Structure 1
Amino acid sequence: PEHDHDIAAKLMAAAPDYLHVGNNLLTNVTSLDDIRRNFQRSTTTQLRNYSAGMGFMMINIFLGLLGTFWFRTQQRVNEIAIRRVNGATRRGIFGRLIGEGVLLLALVTPLAVAADCLLTHYDICAYYGAHHSTALRIAVCAGTSFVLMALMVIAGIWFPARRAMRIEPAQALSIDN
């Protein structure tokens, strides 16, 4: 360890006399610590950029799904009131609304997975540095995405449905939508 200090300066001082072969001359020395730090910096920067992009996309998807199902549920206040008047339980109405939202998601998910498989098969994403996906990787990603999106759909239905349940049916039916 004691010989490691100023090795670059000593090497460059000896370069003109000893470290040249023909027309080739040593002009610069880069330490392995600097090489390692630069490599890790680029990897860290790339990971940070991917994470920021992923977070941005997840927030957009969350707000899009939440807003869509929130709006859709708010438009059904009259239907919820009619169901309550006809004897439906709150649990039954919640189950029906959430079931419809998750069913819509379940119907669309196979199409999205098929599109992802085609993109992977034809190496559409290979240009961007993506690696070949295995069936297990696609299944795990699709399952994780489905669960996250289902939670977003449930949240988008749950809150406006709870609010609609608190409104008296006569009042809900008299409101002009």
Structure 2
Amino acid sequence: MMFRHLLKLTWKRKSRNLMLSLEILIAFAIVFGVAAFGLRYWQLYSMPLGFDGRDLWAVRLQVGDEEKTRIPHEVYDSLRRGLLELPEVRDVAFISFEPYAGATIGTQLQGKTGAGERAPLVNAELLEADDRTAGVLGLKLTEGRWFSELDNGSAQRSAVINRRLAEAMFPGRSAVGQVFIDGPGYANTPVRVVGVVDGYRAKGELAAPVNFAFTRFEAGKHSWDARTVLLKVAPGTERGFEKRLNARLKAIQNTWTYQITPTSALRATALREQTVPLIVVAVIAVFMLVMVAFGLFGALWQNTTQRIPEIGLRRAIGASAGQIYRQVVAEQFLLSSVAIVLGLALLVQLPLTRVLGEHLDWVVFGEAALLSMAVIYLLSLLCALYPGWRASRLSPTEALHHE
């Protein structure tokens, strides 16, 4: 009976309640957007990176024009041997770009079907990596193997891809032994998959997973170089090691310059840059929610004031202060529920149509919806408490004589 009575009262004041519901709907959409944004960040942060960035240092080789200057095979050997002589260095690898650098090589790959059919192009990112990269980065293979001397003399370039790319290019098949074409990058050079890693998110914890491939780098055998040196160092190596490392590099190649950075510093920089959008959105959302709360509180106050004669009549016929109080709060919760249902009906189109792709999957949507509902109901309760208390304190005589 009480619920039916609330529905009748709400419907009779539908024009007045429409603005209240609209304000609540806007607040719900704002909270949902921030919640979904934050939950997606947390989801990404919780995913495995696919590599071990601890005790890892990166050295960028600055050797002049990358288009014209080539680094001989002998120089790579000299760098590896010279750096391994340092007591802090455990292993050395050469790669296109270090983790957290925010840089990879974008391309489109196309799997071979073996039946003369053209498989669809798949967007992917790739890096050139040598035979020791897997050990330095702590990559875990789920299928096949990493690059090795077994790949020497092969007519096809070798690649290790992540599981996501394997499923995209070779669905329902084992990726190991399959061949794909890297058309835009290497003039339709055929590449053979020798291994699969579970994942590799080179741009850090807050970067979305992508299709990824490592292709084998052999010094002196390509028209490009791998100009990043990855060093696996002893645990606890301090920043003072940078000076000794630079001296050793200068002793090997004095005409080059070197940019030396621990990946822990690169990680901190990447996280700081990637969290800036979330902080900005959160600050704007809090400001807007405060404005909505003030507007909602003012509207409820005015609504209660306009209903003083009605409240006085209810008190005169026997309604207690508690019943009046509960009525005001319940009406506000009913308006909030209507706005939330309408908001969910609109927002559910986002995961259904996948307009935001993996950024808003059903897990993020569900958690963001529950969190937003909790915030809106709490906001509605806080805004209704004082107007409801004020209405419940009115005496029947005062209310019935109010003009």
Which structure is higher in helix share? 1
CA distance in 2 between counterparts of 1:173 and 1:40 reads 62
Instruction: Determine helix, strand or coil for the equivalent of 1:48.
Output: helix
Q: Which residue of 1 aligns with 2:360?
A: 132
TM-score, normalization: structure 1? 0.74
Please tell me whether residue 154 in structure 1 is matched to residue 391 in structure 2: no
Which structure 2 residues correspond to residues 85-164 of structure 1 after superposition, within 5 A? 85-125=316-356, 131-134=359-362, 136-164=363-391
CA offset digits 1:9-45 (Å, max 9, x no partner): 4256347547xxxxxxx44413124423321321343
CA distance in 2 between counterparts of 1:48 and 1:11 reads 42
> Compared with structure 1, are the counterparts of its residues 121 and 110 closer, same or farther at alpha carbon in structure 2 (3 Å cutoff)?
same
CA distance in 1 between counterparts of 2:379 and 2:364 reads 23
Deviation, structure 1 residue 85: 0.7
Please tell me whether residue 55 in structure 1 is matched to residue 286 in structure 2: yes
Deviation, structure 1 residue 79: 1.2
Native 8 Å contact 2:311 2:391 kept in 1: yes
> Compared with structure 1, are the counterparts of its residues 142 and 166 closer, same or farther at alpha carbon in structure 2 (3 Å cutoff)?
same
Deviation, structure 1 residue 94: 1.9
Please tell me whether residue 4 in structure 1 is matched to residue 234 in structure 2: no
TM-score, normalization: structure 2? 0.36
In structure 1, which of residues 23, 30, 43 is the aligned counterpart of residue 260 of structure 2?
30
Instruction: Determine helix, strand or coil for the equivalent of 1:131.
Output: helix
Deviation, structure 1 residue 125: 4.9
CA offset digits 1:65-90 (Å, max 9, x no partner): 33332332232222111110111111
Please tell me whether residue 167 in structure 1 is matched to residue 397 in structure 2: no
Rg (Cα) greater in structure: 2
Q: Which has the higher contact order (CA 8 A, sep 6+)?
A: 1
Native 8 Å contact 1:81 1:172 kept in 2: yes
CA distance in 2 between counterparts of 1:158 and 1:70 reads 10
Structure 1: tracts of 5 or more residues without a match:
19-25
> Compared with structure 1, are the counterparts of its residues 7 and 31 closer, same or farther at alpha carbon in structure 2 (3 Å cutoff)?
farther
> Compared with structure 1, are the counterparts of its residues 110 and 164 closer, same or farther at alpha carbon in structure 2 (3 Å cutoff)?
closer
Which structure is higher in strand share? 2
Matched length:
165
Q: CA RMSD in A?
A: 2.9
